[in-house]
Amino acid sequence: MNLARAGITMKRDLDLMRDILLAVEEWNDPQPLNLDALRYEGKTQREIEYQAVLLKEAGYILATGVVSNLDPKLRWLSIV
């Protein structure tokens, strides 16, 4: 899903992107990391979802699904 084509715009948050990448790197569980598990002070779930989808689109993370707030057809984003 291309966010720009879908008309969804939000500013890139490089600090939040870094935090997400660090969380992915530190994840040791054999199960995929569910995006809903990520919480950052002062950030909404939508902001976290948006940055994660940008990371996915740029090829920095492998992910399946798309978050419900950004695409009502799919309800999750798991980082693998």
Q: How far is CA 73 from CA 26, 27, 36, 38, 62, in A?
A: 30, 27, 17, 22, 20
pLDDT by residue for the chain (80 residues), tens only, comes to 555 555 666 889 999 999 999 998 888 888 878 888 889 999 998 888 889 888 888 888 887 765 445 555 444 556 65
The pLDDT of residue 79 is 64
pLDDT (0 to 100) of residue 74: 41
pTM of the complete model: 0.73
Give the DSSP letter of residue 31: S
Residue 7 vs residues 2, 3, 45: alpha-carbon distances, Å: 9, 6, 19
